[in-house]
Amino acid sequence: GARHGSVLTLFAKVVGAALADAHLQADGARSRWEVEAVAEMARFVAQPVPPSPETFLARVAELLQARAVALHVTSGREQAPRLAAHVGLEEGSVTAGDAARATGVLLASSLREDGGVLSSEAQGRALETLSQGRFGSGTAARLTRGGECVGVVQALRAKERPFDERDARLLSTLAELLVTLLEQRRLRAESARQLTESRLLLDLARTTSGVLETASILDVASDFLVHLLDVSNCFILLYDEQAKVLRGAAASAAHRDLFRTVVVPLDSDDLAARVALERKPIAVEDLTSASVSVSAVLIDRLGEKALLGLPLTSREELIGVVLVDDVRGPRPFGPELIELAEATCGQLALSIANARLYESLWASYAELAATRAEMVKRERFAALGELSAIVAHEVRNPLGVIFNAVATLRRIMNPTGDTAMLLDIVAEESDRLNRMVADLLDFTRPRNPVLQPEDLLRVLQDALEAARAQASTERPAHVHVEVEPGLTTVPMDRRQIRQALFNVAVNAIQAMPQGGEVRVHARRDTHGGREQLRIDVMDQGPGIPAELLHRVFEPFFTTKAQGTGLGLAVVKRILEEHRGEIAVESAPGRGTTFTFWLPLTQPQSLS
């Protein structure tokens, strides 16, 4: 019996040694497998383009032979965890919902654990929340970054195949690689976002620097900010320093016309006014519950849920306010977004300031050019007036002698035949020369119109009757006058306007030597942004050739054999001195229309 006992003891030792050796070999093989698996996962994570979390979780499920693996993340201890990625869970199923609820238990426990592996007690409590019975066994490991728990990765199996401690340790190691993967993807996404933002800012700078009109800059910037900040709408108000108000100047494409009607007084409690006064961004994450005042146009018409206001300033000078909103729902405007919006608004404010400087410089140049042109014109008229006075004095004296001589010869000689014809030629040409001197004096004579309310119909009739008597044509012309009812008295210098109408009417009648109709129509009309008196003088003559139309108001330009070329130049000058305008339209064979524009309201005297 003793001998048999010794044999059994020896056999047990041999078997025990064999089993221990088998366990050691199994542990070694498991360790080598784990090292190779971790190395393979590390190479997988270190790819130039990081794989997606779902792809990583699928490899984890394959290594752990798990039926499902879920990744739950949180942005902070006070934020509820969310299911960020998973494999093996059906989207929208109660299983996925239960797994998400289990995360709360896992995260609450993970914050108290020292190691990466969660205790079996915590895992048990989490698995109890999986009520459907599909997963009876599970293990989980927390994800940490910078000593802070940022999530949990959870592997699930059926109850018949429980996880052991080696599986838990492997999952903990893989969790560290998962943190590295998530950080790589975050950094890559952040770099891509920053690159996109930099490109967009560069595009904005290029576009706005190449545009020198404020309105165009604002429209471009509004659309740009909607895209850059991922908001619903963008509105830009410019500060009117004289009126102390913010005026809607531009908006993103959908609401441009609507927003141009918005006016926000600077002393109101509106959000835009607060931004302008405080010169700092103001964000309202939820307009439905916040007690802030915002333009009713934006709230009622657009249904805004969140709003961010930013000041536009340049060299400490307030230019305006930018408002961006979100109509999709309440939204937090984080520091990074506000910093990006401020940088964009800084570039926009600089572009607006440059455009305003350019517009101011252009206006100064235009004003200088107009002043120089006016000075040249005055000097020219002064010189021409002086010359005209000399010529009139030197010419009219001999003309008077010629007129007297012709009259005396006719009385003494009682001429007939060629003698009478020659005397008629001398008299006619002397008379033409006298009229030319009179027209020249009339053109150069300085005028200072005195405006008085005058009967428009009477002025028109007087001028047209005088013109019909003056113009010599083979057949008489018919004149038709039509004045808009209610248009009775108009402020004007009666003598000068009568002269202007007379000159145009004479030309109209003389353009129809075979007879025709001259129609004169006076009515109210809008011109130059205000209501004015419009007088159209229309004839049925042959018209003016297109190549000569632009020269009809030039002094001394005429197409008449007996004309001086000063009649229409006098008309143009009279209307300009009345702060009015004259225009001409003509079509060969269809007549000519001269249009007078005269202000219906202006000062009683003009300098």
DSSP string computed for 271-298: HHHHHHHHTS-EEES-TTT---B--HHH
Angle 387-580-592 (CA atoms, 0-180°, nearest 5)? 90
Judge if 47-178 and 450-599 fold alike in CATH terms.
no
Instruction: From 201, 203, 205, 235, select the one nearest 218 (Cα to Cα).
Output: 235
Angle 575-580-585 (CA atoms, 0-180°, nearest 5)? 80
Helix (H) and strand (E) counts in the chain: 14, 17
d(CA 461, CA 479): 9
69 forms beta bridges with 87, 155
DSSP 549: G
Q: Which CATH number fits domain 47-178: 3.40.30.10, 3.40.630.30, 3.30.450.40, 1.10.10.60?
A: 3.30.450.40
Question: 66 near 60, Cβ under 8 Å?
Answer: yes
Question: 483 near 520, Cβ under 8 Å?
Answer: no
DSSP 536: E
Question: 302 near 287, Cβ under 8 Å?
Answer: no
d(CA 159, CA 62): 18
Q: Domain 450-599: give its CATH code.
A: 3.30.565.10
E-only strand ranges, 230-328: 233-240, 245-251, 263-265, 282-284, 306-314, 317-326
| Model pTM score | 0.44
Residue 99: how many other CB atoms lie within 10 Å: 26
Residue 67 main-chain phi, psi, to 5 deg = -80, -25
Q: Domain 206-361: give its CATH code.
A: 3.30.450.40
CA 440 to chain centre: 53
Rounded to a whole number of angstroms, the CA Rg of the chain reads 48
Look up residue 459 and give its two tokens.
Answer: 């002025």
- pLDDT for 523: 92
To which H or E segment does residue 481 belong? Answer: strand 478-483
Instruction: From 311, 304, 255, 302, select the one nearest 278 (Cα to Cα).
Output: 311
Exposure string of 141-151, with b = 16+ CB inside 10 Å and e = fewer, is: bbbeeeeebbb
Sorted by where each begins, the domain ranges of the chain are 1-44, 47-178, 206-361, 450-599
Question: 178 near 143, Cβ under 8 Å?
Answer: yes
CA 478 to chain centre: 55
433 forms beta bridges with none
Residues of the chain with pLDDT under 50: 92-96, 107-108, 110-118, 127-133, 603-607
Positive or negative: CA dihedral 300, 302, 308, 312: negative
Instruction: From 601, 447, 434, 455, select the one nearest 533 (Cα to Cα).
Output: 601
* Three-class secondary structure of residue 39 per DSSP: helix
Instruction: From 195, 217, 222, 218, select the one nearest 207 (Cα to Cα).
Output: 217
- pLDDT for 93: 47
Angle 538-542-545 (CA atoms, 0-180°, nearest 5)? 100
